[in-house]
């Protein structure tokens, strides 16, 4: 995530959340994917209704591309099955699947015009030349590139080429659209405009869409639901707002910019096992809880002090500065010790406190800033 991207944590997509039982349904995607790649195993369920955009997020090597390739038929399943539109396509070859793909390495044909790139799929599927080109022209118009039909890919900007790639994916009349980092190659400005364009397009489509991304902002803006993969398994699933509010792993918490800990609550105190495995640190809560819980608070709620402050906030820990980075108009301080902690402070505060890597500081958080939910 770049420092300038801020996340919307307002429950975007909640309103559209479908009934759990209906997800996938007869027309959408309902897949259970088990893929073995050497020592790595992907074992994940993925479902998407027509018109729904599901974003798959996860750290490097978590199996996102493997999942997409399996859905596309470019990777075979060790077990599981893929139902699409009520049809079992588990063993169907890639070219027989009603699946459109926009992959990073799935480039446009350089020797064909934008129009012929888009017409290529329908031609392969048996459409006549005139019919395929008419459909391609219509789709180029849909993606706002009617004027560029004759252009070769090298004459297009990155954003335009992405839109041609999308038109080409749509030309096969897919029931499932697979987008692998569709905006990764774009600069920040093009990215913002393609993201907004894509959001409107995807909302109007009747295909199930699975989008793989590293960028939480893309996921938050584009997706109705988010599936998070870690080490080949689904660790969290839900509407973007729900995932952002209630992260269930450290990766998800960092993704949405939260400090997150798991511990055991007793009254207004949570005991969190410390990093060295011995003992526990304590976090104070604004209300009483019992049992296993997640505790979360945003980095901006953390105040840093060189000396132990008077009028102590109820949560105060002695931690060491591990690193400092620019984060939007704030500075993000990474702290380590009993547990890892992120603090966002102003550049002025950084200068005033004369903070530097390796230094020990006091980190305080008001109990009222701490959110708690069952584990």
Ligand X SMILES: Nc1ncnc2c1ncn2[C@@H]1O[C@H](COP(=O)(O)OP(=O)(O)OP(=O)(O)O)[C@@H](O)[C@H]1O
Give least dist CB 58 to ligand X, A: 5
| 182 near ligand X, judged by CB under 6 A | no
Q: Which two tokens stand for residue 327?
A: 């984060």
Q: Ramachandran region of residue 149, left (φ > 0), alpha (ψ -120 to 50) or beta?
A: alpha
Dihedral of alpha carbons 169, 175, 176, 177, sign: positive
Q: Which of residues 7-66 bind ligand X (CB under 6 A)?
A: 37-38, 40, 58, 60-66
Q: Which of residues 62-101 bind ligand X (CB under 6 A)?
A: 62-66
Q: Which is nearer to ligand X, 235 or 350 (CB)?
A: 235
Min. distance of Cβ 60 from ligand X in angstroms? 4
Q: What is the DSSP letter of 186?
A: S
Q: Shortest Cβ distance from residue 349 to ligand X (Å)?
A: 34
Q: How far is the CB of 269 from ligand X (least distance, A)?
A: 38
Binding-site size for ligand X (CB under 6 A) equals 11
Q: Which is nearer to ligand X, 45 or 86 (CB)?
A: 45
Q: CB-wise, 28 or 58, nearer to ligand X?
A: 58
Q: Which residues pair with 126 in a beta bridge?
A: none
CB-nearer residue toward ligand X: 68 or 296: 68
What backbone phi and psi angles, to 5 degrees, belong to 327? -140, 95
Nearer to ligand X, 37 or 129 (CB): 37
What is the C-alpha separation between 34 and 79, in angstroms, rounded? 5
CB 48 within 8 A of CB 24: yes
Distance from C-alpha of 343 to C-alpha of 104, rounded to nearest angstrom? 35
How far is the C-alpha of 73 from the C-alpha of 44, rounded, in Å?
16
Subset of residues 103 to 132 that bind ligand X, contact rule: CB under 6 A: none
Q: Which of residues 225-244 bind ligand X (CB under 6 A)?
A: none
Backbone phi, psi, residue 367, to 5°: -60, -30
Residues that bind ligand X (CB under 6 A): 37-38, 40, 58, 60-66
């Amino acid at each position: 995530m770049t420092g300038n991207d801020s996340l919307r944590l307002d429950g975007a997509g909640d309103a559209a959340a479908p009934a759990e039982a209906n997800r996938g349904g007869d027309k959408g995607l309902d897949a259970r994917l088990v893929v073995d790649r050497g020592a790595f195993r992907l074992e994940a369920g993925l479902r998407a209704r027509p018109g729904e955009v599901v974003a798959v997020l996860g750290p490097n090597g978590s199996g996102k591309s493997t999942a997409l390739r399996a859905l596309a038929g470019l990777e075979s399943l060790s077990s599981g099955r893929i139902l699409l539109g009520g049809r079992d396509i588990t063993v169907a070859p890639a070219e027989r699947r009603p699946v459109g793909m926009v992959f990073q390495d799935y480039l446009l044909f350089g020797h064909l015009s934008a129009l012929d790139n888009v017409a290529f799929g329908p031609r392969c599927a048996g459409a006549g030349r005139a019919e395929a080109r008419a459909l391609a022209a219509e789709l180029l118009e849909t993606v706002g590139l009617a004027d560029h039909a004759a252009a070769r890919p090298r004459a297009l900007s990155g954003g335009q080429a992405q839109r041609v790639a999308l038109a080409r994916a749509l030309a096969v009349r897919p029931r499932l659209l697979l987008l692998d980092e569709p905006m990764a190659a774009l600069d920040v400005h093009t990215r913002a405009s393609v993201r907004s364009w894509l959001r409107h397009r995807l909302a109007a489509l009747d295909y199930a869409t699975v989008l793989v991304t590293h960028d939480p902002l893309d996921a938050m803006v584009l997706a109705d639901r988010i599936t998070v993969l870690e080490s080949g398994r689904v660790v969290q699933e839900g509407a973007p707002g729900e995932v952002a509010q209630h992260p269930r792993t450290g990766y998800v918490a960092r993704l949405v910019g939260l400090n997150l800990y798991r511990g055991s609550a007793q009254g207004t105190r949570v005991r969190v096992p410390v990093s060295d495995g011995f003992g526990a640190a304590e976090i104070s809560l604004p209300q009483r809880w019992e049992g296993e819980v997640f505790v979360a608070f945003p980095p901006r709620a953390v105040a840093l002090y060189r000396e132990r402050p008077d009028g102590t906030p109820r949560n105060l820990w002695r931690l060491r500065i591990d690193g400092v980075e620019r984060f939007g108009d704030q500075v993000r301080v990474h702290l380590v010790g009993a547990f890892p902690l992120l603090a966002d402070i102003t550049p002025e505060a950084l200068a005033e406190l004369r903070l530097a890597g390796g230094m020990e500081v006091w980190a305080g958080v008001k109990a009222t800033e701490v959110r708690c939910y069952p584990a």
